[in-house]
Chain A
Amino acid sequence: MSEKDNIIAIVEDDASQRQQYAEALRNCGYEVVEYADRQTAVTAFEQSLPDLAILDIMLGDDVGAGFELCRYLKEKDSQFPIIFLTSRGNELDKIYGLQLGAWDYQTKPVSLEFLITRIKSLFQIKDSTSTGKHTDNSKHYGDITIDDASMTILWKGSPVNLTPTEFEILRAIINNPEGVSIEDLIRATRQGVVEDNTINTHILHIRKKFKKVDTAFACIKTRYGFGYGWLC
């Protein structure tokens, strides 16, 4: 499936930013549709759904518009890939956004280069899960099974549903048995400017998701003053 077939919707009220994203994505060969507010976006989505949506949370005076759109899209397609791209960077918003099922949550300012990389990998994940092309690339590290292509994780045989960012963090930790520093994790997840706590928040989410499957899970070890390590 070529990139040209993928339609990306950008819902962003700031015209100059929207145009820059659109231009950068179009340069990469994606078809981009732009919406400045929730209503026009919803009207268009009623006609046809794009393949991926980049949402700003605040659209003009509509404070929670991005969240509403996310909920709307998730109702239509629970596997719909959504990237929040917003200036609202506090943790509560982030947690809320991820709870709504967004695949990623990026805070402004964002690196265009990184954004494009993220979008590419998300499409890859989407393709691999939706087309069912399941080449078994899974690797086993003790009790955990990681499939890079489909971004799926199995813990003791049970699937753990991680967002792509969380998946990447976990993979980075597992790939470095000595432990990985916060800085490395930030780089690995291609986060823009991120406080250490963003990573901490992701780790908390990952631990929670594992604990849902296995309450005794304690493999992600905090290396205080450094980062995280995998200890299993």
Chain B
Amino acid sequence: MLSVSKKHRARFSLNLQIIAFSFLFLLALPWLGNRYMDEMKEFLVQGQGDAQLLAAQAIATVLHNRADLFNISNAPSNSLIEQGSLYVYPLDQRIVLDGYGSDWNLLLAQKRSFGPESLIYDRTAGSLSPVTFGLLLGEYNKHLYGLVSVNDSSIVYRHPQYSRLDSSDQVRIELVDKNADIKRYVIITEAAGTASVYEMHEDWARPLTGQPVFKLNAIWRETAQGYDVEFRFPINWLSNDQHLMISVADVSSDTERKIDTVVATLHEDNAGELNKLIIRSPELDRIIKGLGYADSNVCIVDRYRRVRAVLASQEQQDTNTQSQLCTLTDKVAPELVAKALLGESSVARSLLSSGEALVLASHPIYQDGEINGAVLVEKNSANILFKQKASLNKIIIATAIVVLIAIVGLLLFSSLLAYRIRNLQKEVSSAFDLDGRLIANEINSSSKAGDEVGELSRVFSTLLSQLKSYTGFLESVPRTLRHEILNPLNTISMALQKMSADQHFDAVLISSANKASKQLELIVHSLTEAAHIDDSLSQDEKESFDLAELLSEYVSNISLKHKVHIFSYTGQASGITIQGSDLRISQMLDKLKDNAIDFSDTGSEIKFELSRDQQHALISICNEGKLIPDEVLNNLCSGIISHRHAGSGEPHLGIGLYVASRIARYHNGSLNIFNTDSNKGVCVEIELPIQAS
């Protein structure tokens, strides 16, 4: 097999290359997917915004010209009155009447404050600063709840000695009942705790009946600033117009016990009137519920930005978190509400801390060309995000699988390719023997493939067959030469034989002509022998024989034959068995012996040595005489050209060494030729494998 020169070069196999490229290019896929997902999300959120706007518009359309639903008086609107309306928040849970405002939760922030601007009575003519109080109203289960937080530095409780009820700090409630009558109730107490409620005369001094009113419950609690009163009464006490006013009467001296100031929930300019209650319209709620936007929060505000109806999405109802849309409207999107109330519909988006986007769409509601309110539709993009995450996961998994399959596929493919190329390389290499001689003229691996490797294989085949025919020509040269030379030589030889029988010719001339023709003959024979040595060897039968016996006998026999030189043998006389042809080994020894004789000094010693190790026998044949130049040592056995001048005058073509090395090779051995260390001559060493006993 032809050995391929292996330089130390970093190996970067096809597989490695493909893995590297796969990672470079295939890993871009998830990134692209991510980009795509982001774009998709943006698109979806955008689409959601548009859809919400449409929804807002649809709801608004339903609510156009439905002033009745907004419960705003059809009379020319009195903005002050409207603004003085008291908003009743819908409560999502029952309020425990205990005087503590904690169960009002977030609504506490919505507490509305009243103070000097709505002072409706002042006995002290401004010498005392009136009390201030905060008010929260709420509705739950057909009851109206109220929390009044009064700032009063000195609380004056009712005293049993005073029969008049206007002799202590008190909270007053005025309302218009179903019969359009005005009812007045007072909440007073002798101490913190459950307070007494009486229905009062117009003068607020005496109760109407003297019997406490039990359907209006109230709790009085002292606070650091003053006191808090929590109360409750059935909402059906109120007329359809829902008018109500709360006022706080302050008594500052427990000795004088006269009402000093009364601060009401209505501006002093509107004295004599009552506040209008704004309660979420059940009608509106029904309508928007009926619209079926179950997955969004819907909020309807009136022109004073008061929430009139809320529809919490199913999702939020499930999680039992009351929509913050309406309570937070002003915080989330004050601009949006403002825009809507100016007649402009819009979509806004805000990012929540959770990374979700809150999409809010608003649309105005018209009443006879005027803006009556606005519809807000809110939807959390969590759903979209969730879907996005789900699809992202799917994409990641799918991409991973695809990448994996692609890599595995590419690996398999490249392995196959590498395998085919390796096969091709092996076959091409094995098309030549160790000496670089062509032994095959066809490459079979991949030869039928239609790709480049196949093409390469076919090109190799073509090259090999061309090379084969050329080599064939070269190999046939000796045979042809032999035939072409020997025939005329035969004629010459026969002519010379006839001439030598004839006395007329010069015997010396004929003799030298004969000698020359013999030399020619020898040359041709040598050439033919070398050219056919491998073929001849392959015909031989191998058998076991004793190399030591052969060699010792050989040396003793040639000593008898060649008297000019001294032959010596060192080594055992028998006992080294090798596998092969004894005649060929003998032939090899002949060649080496002739060679040694040719190049050794006359009368010098030619040493034969045989040694062995476990597996090999080593024959060395050394002679004293001309050295071989170092530069030709290596290719001595491969050529047919001698690099030395033989002393014998015989033609010396170096064929002997070639034949000898072929015979050594045939015995799975090797032949090595070198100058001796002492530089006095040349040694040939033949290493032959010993047959395992």
Q: Is the CB of A90 within 8 A of B528?
A: yes
Q: Is the CB of B490 within 8 A of A90?
A: no
Task: Tell me the bound Cα distance from A111 to B497 in angstroms.
Answer: 8
Q: Which partner residue on chain B sits nearest A226 by CB separation?
A: B557
Q: Which partner residue on chain B sits nearest A114 by CB separation?
A: B497
Task: Tell me the bound Cα distance from A197 to B479 in angstroms.
Answer: 18
Please indicate which of the listed interface residues B493, B522, B535 has the most CB atoms of chain A within 10 Å of its own CB: B493
Q: Is the CB of A16 within 8 A of B532?
A: no
A sample of 11 cross-chain residue pairs with beta-carbon separation below 8 angstroms, ordered by A number, consists of A14-B491, A89-B528, A92-B532, A109-B494, A110-B490, A110-B493, A195-B525, A203-B583, A204-B583, A224-B582, A225-B554
Please indicate which of the listed interface residues A87, A89, A109 has the most CB atoms of chain B within 10 Å of its own CB: A109
Q: Which partner residue on chain A sits nearest B559 by CB separation?
A: A225
8 Å CB interface, B508-534 against A: 517-518, 521-522, 525, 528-529, 532
List, in ascending order, chain A residues with CB within 8 A of B583's CB: 197, 200, 203-204, 222
Q: Given contacts A20-B491, A87-B490, A108-B489, are A225 and B532 in contact (CB under 8 A)?
A: no
Q: Is B254 an interface residue (CB 8 A)?
A: no
Q: Is the CB of A226 within 8 A of B482?
A: no
Q: Is B224 an interface residue (CB 8 A)?
A: no
Q: How many pairs, one residue from A and one from B, have CB atoms within 8 Å of each other in the complex? A: 108
Q: Which partner residue on chain A sits nearest B583 by CB separation?
A: A200
Q: Which partner residue on chain A sits nearest B540 by CB separation?
A: A204
Task: Tell me the bound Cα distance from A58 to B483 in angstroms.
Answer: 9
Q: Is B555 an interface residue (CB 8 A)?
A: yes
Task: Tell me the bound Cα distance from A95 to B482 in angstroms.
Answer: 18
List, in ascending order, chain B residues with CB within 8 A of A111's CB: 493, 497
Total interface residues on A, using CB and 8 Å? 35
Stretch at the interface among B8-16, B571-579, B585-593: B585-593
| Contact string against B for A residues 7-37, beta-carbon threshold 8 Å, 1 for contact and 0 otherwise | 0000000101100110010000000000000
Q: Is B352 an interface residue (CB 8 A)?
A: no
Task: Tell me the bound Cα distance from A54 to B621 in angstroms.
Answer: 44
Q: Is the CB of A109 within 8 A of B561?
A: no
List, in ascending order, chain A residues with CB within 8 A of B521's CB: 109, 192-193
Q: Is A88 an interface residue (CB 8 A)?
A: yes
Task: Tell me the bound Cα distance from A16 to B491 in angstroms.
Answer: 7
Q: Is A128 an interface residue (CB 8 A)?
A: no
A179 to chain B, nearest CB (A): 9
Q: Is B679 an interface residue (CB 8 A)?
A: no
Q: Which partner residue on chain B sits nearest A56 by CB separation?
A: B487
Q: Is the CB of B525 within 8 A of A225?
A: no
List, in ascending order, chain B residues with CB within 8 A of A76's CB: none
Q: Which partner residue on chain B sits nearest A85 by CB separation?
A: B490
Q: Is the CB of A224 within 8 A of B482?
A: no
Q: Is the CB of B587 within 8 A of A109?
A: no
Q: Which 9 A-B pairs have the closest CB atoms?
A: A225-B557, A87-B486, A225-B554, A226-B557, A109-B493, A224-B554, A109-B490, A108-B490, A225-B558
Q: Given contacts A17-B487, A222-B586, are A112 and B535 in contact (CB under 8 A)?
A: no
List, in ascending order, chain B residues with CB within 8 A of A91's CB: 532, 536, 539
Q: Is B4 an interface residue (CB 8 A)?
A: no
Looking at chain A's contact residues, the main secondary structure is mixed
Q: Is the CB of B491 within 8 A of A223?
A: no
Q: Is the CB of A226 within 8 A of B539?
A: no
| Contact string against A for B residues 472-501, beta-carbon threshold 8 Å, 1 for contact and 0 otherwise | 000000010011001101111111011000
Task: Tell me the bound Cα distance from A91 to B521 in angstroms.
Answer: 16
List, in ascending order, chain A residues with CB within 8 A of B553's CB: 223-225
A8 to chain B, nearest CB (A): 16
Q: Is the CB of B489 within 8 A of A109?
A: yes
List, in ascending order, chain B residues with CB within 8 A of A112's CB: 494, 497-498
Q: Is A6 an interface residue (CB 8 A)?
A: no
Q: Is the CB of A92 within 8 A of B535?
A: yes
Q: Given contacts A111-B497, A112-B497, are A224 and B557 in contact (CB under 8 A)?
A: yes
8 Å CB interface, A147-171 against B: none
Q: Is the CB of A17 within 8 A of B494?
A: yes
Q: Which partner residue on chain B sits nearest A87 by CB separation?
A: B486
List, in ascending order, chain B residues with CB within 8 A of A20's CB: 491, 494-495, 498
Task: Tell me the bound Cα distance from A87 to B521 in angstroms.
Answer: 11
Q: Is A127 an interface residue (CB 8 A)?
A: no
If A109-B486, A224-B582 are given as contacts, then 13 extra A-B residue pairs at C-beta distance below 8 Å, sorted by A number, are: A14-B487, A17-B487, A24-B494, A87-B483, A89-B528, A90-B532, A92-B539, A95-B539, A193-B522, A195-B529, A204-B583, A222-B586, A225-B555
Q: Which partner residue on chain B sits nearest A221 by CB separation?
A: B553
Task: Tell me the bound Cα distance from A90 to B560 in angstroms.
Answer: 30
Task: Tell me the bound Cα distance from A49 to B494 in angstroms.
Answer: 27
